[in-house]
């Protein structure tokens, strides 16, 4: 039985959404469909029988994955959190799933209430290209120097003008962002010459293609083509043309936003334990 509308009242509901971005044109809805937002809104509308639109914490590009994307919606319906999860998932494709739901104050805003955003990039270092992980990891066939990459990343911590790492299509009103942390880790595979690498990013916000452009530079350093200090020169040039090419979207995961704990929203979902640690 479908829920009855609550006359004269609306509720704000937050959802945590995971998705594999490979088959989608990115998060944001666009004419012609084919985005994660389109799939989610269609499922919500099918479940609730009335149209629903969502606002997300952070838009992701085509091919980029979401682990704990947070959205909010305003609804006249009164449903238990588990019903929003199970009911919406019944209408979603297999590569998109709502992980949790929580009724929140009308003051909550998925994007504007976020105090930070977290991403992870997974790279396979191997002489042979990925197969099972195709679309889920980036790939380099040359050995990487983790210490050099971490030293290069240190030049990007803090508040900077990130114009050198900004795509021409970026719509942000300012290139100045605050990167709080970049952590480079090698995830060993026993008995194998290669390895998975995980690079974690946390900042207040990110420009379009910013992480993929930073990854291109870090890998250039990691493969020995440039010294770590080169990244500082790229940063200070404020010119996209001096940086490395944009790296593939395949291994990029939006881990989710950070909110003040007072909102009581989950920051961890099971898929986070699936990523190399």
Catalytic residues: 61
Rounded distance, CA 234 to CA 217, Å?
Answer: 9
* Element holding 32 (H helix, E strand): none
DSSP, res 243: S
Contact 275, 197 (CB under 8 A): no
Contact 13, 73 (CB under 8 A): yes
Q: How far is CA 214 from CA 19, 41, 172, 200, 247, in A?
A: 23, 32, 17, 12, 8
From the CB of residue 110, how many other CB atoms can be counted at a distance below 10 Å? 23
Distance spanning both ends of the chain, measured CA to CA: 43
Contact 198, 277 (CB under 8 A): yes
SS3 content of the chain, % helix, strand, coil (to 5): 25, 30, 45
């Amino acid at each position: 039985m479908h829920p009855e509308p609550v006359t004269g009242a609306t509720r704000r509901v937050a959802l945590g959404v995971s998705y594999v971005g490979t088959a989608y044109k990115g998060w944001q809805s666009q004419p012609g469909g084919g985005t994660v937002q389109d799939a989610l809104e269609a499922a919500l509308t099918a479940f609730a029988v009335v149209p629903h639109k969502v606002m997300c914490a952070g838009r992701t590009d085509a091919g980029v994955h979401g682990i704990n994307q947070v959205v909010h919606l305003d609804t006249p319906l009164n449903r238990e959190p588990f019903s929003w999860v199970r009911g919406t998932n019944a209408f979603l494709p297999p590569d998109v799933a709502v992980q949790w739901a929580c009724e929140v104050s009308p003051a909550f805003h998925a994007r504007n209430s976020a105090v930070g955003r977290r991403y992870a990039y997974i790279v396979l270092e191997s002489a042979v290209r990925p197969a099972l992980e195709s679309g889920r990891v980036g790939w380099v066939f040359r050995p990487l120097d983790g210490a050099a990459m971490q030293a290069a990343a240190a030049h990007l911590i803090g508040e900077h003008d990130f114009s050198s790492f900004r795509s021409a299509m970026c719509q942000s009103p300012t290139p100045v962002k605050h990167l709080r942390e970049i952590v480079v880790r090698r995830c060993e595979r026993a008995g194998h010459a290669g390895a998975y690498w995980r690079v974690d990013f946390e900042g207040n916000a990110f420009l379009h293609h910013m992480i993929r452009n930073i990854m291109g530079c870090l890998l250039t350093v990691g493969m020995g083509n440039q010294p770590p200090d080169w990244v500082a020169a790229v940063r200070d040039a404020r010119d996209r043309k001096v940086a490395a090419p944009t790296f593939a979207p395949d291994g990029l995961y939006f881990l989710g936003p950070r909110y003040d704990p007072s909102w009581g929203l989950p920051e961890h979902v099971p898929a986070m334990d699936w990523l190399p640690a």
